[in-house]
Amino acid sequence: MADIPFDKRDGFIWFNGELVPWADAKVHVLTHGLHYASCVFEGCRAYNGKIFKLREHSERLINSAEVMGFKIPYSVEEIDEACRTALKAQNLVDGYVRPVAWRGSEAMGVSAQKNKINFAVAAWEWPSYFDPEQRKKGIRLDIAKYKRPSPETAPSHAKAAGLYMICTISKHAAENNGYADAMMLDYRGYVAEATGANIFFIKDGVIHTPTPDCFLNGITRQTVIELAKRRGIEVVERHISPEELSSFSECFITGSAAEVTPVGEIGPHRFTPGKITSTLFEDYTAEVRGGAPVAARA
C-alpha cells in the first residue's frame, strides 16, 4: 500500500458531508487553497479502533481556520463523527486520519471572501513515520537553513498548510544529505522543532523542551509532558540555544505521526537513547492504546 500513489488508492473519503469513492475526491486546479495556501489540516492516529485525542484535534482545526479567517461549516461534534466515519469506511483499526479544510475555486486572487469552505477527511494505514531500524537506534537530524518565523509575521499557532513550505524544503535537504529529518531554529536563533514534530532534550534526569511561542504546542507534546509529570520527571519549558546541544544526553521528538521517536544525532551532536526516552516511549504507547495508567505500572 505504501507504494501506491495517494490518488490511486481504493476506498472512501468523507468529502463535504458524504462518503465518496477515493478516486472521486477531487478539487479544481484553480482552488484557492492550492494557490494561496488558505488551507488548514490535522493529523490524528487511531489505535485499536479509537482516534487518540480526537476532540482536541477537531477543536484545534476549527481554531486554525479561525486564525486563517474562515469558518469550517461543521461543528466539533460533526468533525469528530466525520473522522470516525472515514476511519470505519477504510476498515482500519490502527491508522492515520487527516481532516482538512480549504477555500475553494469560486474566485481567484488573493481575496477569497466568498469562496466556499470545503472539508474532507481521509484515513489510511501508516505504521511508522520513520524507518523502524533508524528509529530503534535514534534517527539522525540535520540542522535546517530556514527558521520558524515570528508570530508577528505568520500565523504560527495555526496548523496551516503554508507554514509547512519551509518544512518540506528542509526535510528534503536533510534527506539528500543522508539524514531522516531536520531540526529547525526559530527567528531568534533558538531551537524550535523538527519539520513536523516537537523536540525534547534530557540532562541530569530533567527534560528540557523549547517554549512553543512561535510554533505549534503539539497535542502529542502536551501528552508526553503530562506522562513525564506523572512519573515525577521534571519538565522545563524554556528557550534553548544551539550551543547547549552538546550538553544533553538524550533527545527525542514527538508528534501524532512521529509518536515518540528517539534521536541519536543532530548535526555534530550525539545522543544516546536512554531510560527516560524509553520510559516515555512505553508510557505513550500504553496511553494511546488504553493501557494501564503510569501510576499503576510504576
| For residue 136, pLDDT beyond 90 | no
Phi, psi of 253 (to 5 degrees): -120, 160
| For residue 137, pLDDT beyond 90 | no
C-alpha cell at 248: 544533553
Q: Provide the pLDDT for residue 129.
A: 78
Of 159, 171, 229, 275, the active-site residue reads 159
Mean pLDDT of 81-94: 98
Q: Provide the pLDDT for residue 292.
A: 54
DSSP 247: G
Domain formed by 132-290, architecture: Alpha-Beta Barrel (3.20)
Residues 155, 169: Cα–Cα separation, whole Å: 19
H-helix or E-strand spanning residue 277: helix 275-288
pLDDT tens column, 233-277: 999 999 999 999 999 999 999 999 999 999 999 999 999 999 999
| For residue 2, pLDDT beyond 80 | no
CA 77 → CA 21, 110, 164, distances in Å?
23, 31, 27
pLDDT tens column, 11-25: 999 999 999 999 999
| For residue 297, pLDDT beyond 60 | no
CA 123 → CA 12, 88, 90, 181, distances in Å?
9, 9, 7, 24
Closest alpha carbon to 46 in 256, 255, 292: 256
Q: Where are the domains of the chain?
A: 6-124, 132-290
Partners of 266 in beta bridges: 141, 269
Q: Provide the pLDDT for residue 3.
A: 81
Share of the chain above pLDDT 70, in %: 97
Please indicate whether residue 159 is annotated as part of the active site.
yes
CATH of domain 6-124: 3.30.470.10
